[in-house]
Chains A and B, each alone.
Chain A
Amino acid sequence: DQQVKQNSPSLSVQEGRISILNCDYTNSMFDYFLWYKKYPAEGPTFLISISSIKDKNEDGRFTVFLNKSAKHLSLHIVPSQPGDSAVYFCAASVLNSGNTPLVFGKGTRLSVIA
């Protein structure tokens, strides 16, 4: 039973345009969400996070939006660059319980075409 779902296995975007990666979750206890970026043969790298008390968090070209009622979050990358091509994982945790393990989605492979 997948608690965190990334329904698009892949996404292609032209350089300079916006990339939108989506993530849905089922567990209403989740209160902290993270996006990780992963290149082949490397470990995931933390990108951006959002707490459930917010609905938006921005860091440079990356913005994460959270819609708690829909149990949906999205990562926007604008403008997209070829170096953004990687697999993006959405992850969720129950922050109020302390350092709990992360629950990951299956990932979305983003290809940014020059």
Chain B
Amino acid sequence: NAGVMQNPRHLVRRRGQEARLRCSPMKGHSHVYWYRQLPEEGLKFMVYLQKENIIDESGMPKERFSAEFPKEGPSILRIQQVVRGDSAAYFCASSQLPGTSEVNEQFFGPGTRLTVL
């Protein structure tokens, strides 16, 4: 089953540490999206990437957050100097190239639950 993979599933960090979240898209998918879900909230878009390109980062906080999707390897969401308010579930989704499907369907990974102590 070549679904969207995310690791780690759970991550605990102390305030001030760095958090690195990884996402491997589905086979054949070249578009990756990161979403954040706070408790009792819906998923909020953070960033949209293709290989080696950030397409849309309008949902990313201006400081401490960064994302990349290198030519080889998974997409990484990096949070520097984490604070308690960063505690959330972070979901990655992937989709096909535009034009290859009429469906703008994004497939989601199981998420990484970040807890900041």
Please report A residues at the B interface, Cβ cutoff 8 Å.
4, 6, 32, 34, 36, 41-46, 49, 51, 89, 93, 95, 98-107
Contact = CB atoms under 8 A, between A and B. Distances in A.
B4 interface: yes
B44 A104 contact: yes
A83 B105 CA distance: 23
Contacts of B41: 106
Contact of B45 (A44, A95, A101, A106): A101
4 tightest A-B CB contacts, nearest first: A43-B108, A104-B42, A101-B45, A98-B98
Contacts of A42: 110-111
A6 B42 CA distance: 10
A90 to B, nearest CB: 9
A49 B44 CA distance: 19
A43 B48 contact: no
Contacts of A34: 104-105
A70 B24 CA distance: 39
A101 B59 contact: yes
B72 interface: no
B104 A95 contact: yes
Interface residues of B, number: 30
B43 A89 contact: yes
Contacts of B93: 43, 102
Contacts of A105: 42
B109 interface: yes
Interface in B94-117: 95, 97-98, 102-111, 113
A106 B40 contact: yes
B91 interface: yes
Given A41-B113, A44-B108, A102-B43, 4 more contacts: A46-B106, A99-B104, A104-B35, A107-B42
Nearest to B56: A101
B104 A43 contact: no
B1 to A, nearest CB: 13
B69 interface: no
Interface in B43-81: 43-45, 48, 56, 59
A99 B94 CA distance: 10
